[in-house]
Amino acid sequence: MSGKLEDLYRRWILDCVVDSVEAISKDFVQHPQQYRGATTSGLLEEFKARTGNDPLWPNKEQRAAIYGTLFGMADGDSDGENSGQFGEAASDVRRRATLYAERVFSSGEEMLRQAFRDSIETFQAYLETLKGPVVDRGDAQTTNIFDKAVAVLQDAGVAQRFGGLPPAPANWPTSRPYGGDGANLIEEIKRTLFVGPEYQLPRKRFLVMQRIATYGHGTIADVQSYKYDQSKGQKSTTDLITAAYSWATAILDSKRMNSNDGMHLGGDGSKPLENLSTLESRRNIGRNR
What average pLDDT does the structure give for the chain? 86
Record the pTM: 0.85
Percentage of the residues of the chain whose pLDDT score is greater than 90:
72
pLDDT digits (tens, 9 = 90+) for 61-78: 999 999 999 998 665 445
Phi-psi region of 229 (alpha: psi -120 to 50; beta: other; left: phi over 0): beta
- Give per-residue pLDDT as tens, 243-267: 999 999 999 999 888 774 333 333 2
Say which DSSP state 201 is in: -
pLDDT at 226 over 70: yes
* 25-66 confidence digits (pLDDT tens): 999 999 999 999 999 999 999 999 999 999 999 999 999 999
Q: What mean pLDDT is predicted for residues 270-278?
A: 35
Alpha helices in the chain (DSSP H): 4-13, 16-30, 41-50, 60-71, 84-101, 109-130, 133-153, 156-159, 181-193, 203-225, 233-258, 276-287
Q: How far apart are CA 156 and CA 229, in angstroms?
A: 50
> What is the rounded CA–CA span in Å between residue 154 and residue 15?
16
Segment 209-218 shows an average pLDDT of: 96
CB atoms < 10 A from the CB of 88, how many?
16
